Chains A and B, each alone.
Chain A
């Protein structure tokens, strides 16, 4: 079987005694190179745990994660993480934070080269004038820009983002989303992102992974964002013909289906290794396309 760049295979995690039910179990999915994948689910379904396992910060109770055909056994500079709390080192300046990451990635680089490289990424996220400021002097949005710059500066093979914009106000969030969209387009980054914001997922993701509620959460289905990247503009998104169909599908899942997915399994059957893939956007513009196979090979 041809594996995706990231292949999550049969992942499970339980806390405490073995008698405890798993938070999630039998989770299978993949992320292709250059793909932007969002994972959506309610709190408590173990989204962040999955991301931590991908990052190598947490160990699963069962299953493995294969990256580039190799099972991961810990954190790696290939997988950069953007933390929800931005996790900047408060005693270092903006430049210091990024330079710390750069010199960790390339320990032999001379100081000047590290600095020059770090400044390039500060400029990329639009913080050119704030390089010497301490994190405490920055607004929440600026802090997260530094977090993004730090993650990108080590030129990772993929970005792992844990609800990176959830702590920001709506305006800042929107601007940063545009920024991420632009940067990902420029750098062809592979991204795996956790969110519970439906609009954010529609704006950013090429594919959205829906997760049922815990305990014992699993992947319900994959929603392909059939809106082309070029057409995804934040300002005009709601006017896009596919938008509401996709949005309604996601909201319907989060509001109703995620709770009672057991029933769906009982009615339609379920293959944990190949959850079905749906394209609600296409149905909106071409009702014929609504004929969605129950089982869709990835």
Chain B
């Protein structure tokens, strides 16, 4: 198995670690060996199968148990009923021609959108026969409305947004699929330069902070962080929703003391001498999600070939972006006015992880931002626990049900039950945030374990 582990092999370990044993992800491995691959078709078959299986069985042991019990072909048949695996593979392996070639994809100009954006100038879309227009959009509400109005065929969204759309918060419930997370990590807490010496959150009483959106990972991470240091985010500090470009201006004008926001605005604050990077969100939770690539299920049903070509381009771009050596080239490609409209040097620092911290030091952290397309249901559950923790949702939360509404995996669980198997528990992947593990199977207990909470 030189290309990629066969995900339908019961003996293989399917982890984020590459099967070759090296300390890199399978995608990186693939990227490295792709050029040498004799057939791209088989490469894509594996990627697709692995992506689906991993979504269905986050817990590797259960996947193996499942495959051993039913056999690979039955497993594939079962999964095919909920996810058109064969069609997908066929299409991915240069299947039918795209039904629709001219597409519009909306993005918010932040580095989280890197794969979506770079796929345009770097030719990932055109390689798959698509003529994609990437359209810069002014805000999350607008991108949501334009996606719902079908002005956009696909869009860049905050990871919690598909959850919000599927529970009908703020819009009509419309089935939206989130086939890929775009980036992990990549956010930071930036403080005004005058707070150089107040590096402990204990000194932050009375600080005013900005986050991009109430329902964002940024808000939850900031609250989590200060609460872990004993500050009540609703009483001891102020948190307001501020559009990212205005964060730097507000910091400069001394209207806020700091922000937890998306890049490039953290690095931009350093570039303009307005603030310093207190810490990267990676230091809080390595591998946390932020933004997603979203498509309506209607679009998938009507344009399966186009959808596959598009997803293929995004996955390829994400794989390309996840490789450190490519980051400089990407920074150059997405800096112009047509895309992020930022100084190239700022983007380069964010993407390469070699950056000025605003305090006179150059820091190196190649994982400052990373790109990983796989959506874990545990993310959704963690987000829900924080929504409830801070009183954004009240009463009993049916975590499993909401996660089921958002993730295809739950459908498969149902099918397996009917076939007489014990379904795997998709919430068993553990997440560690600031040293505290999160067990997605016990969200209520997790919630109760916090001293500072609204519910």
Chain A directly contacts chain B within the complex, with at least one CB pair under 8 Å: no
A binding-site residues for B, Cβ under 8 Å: none
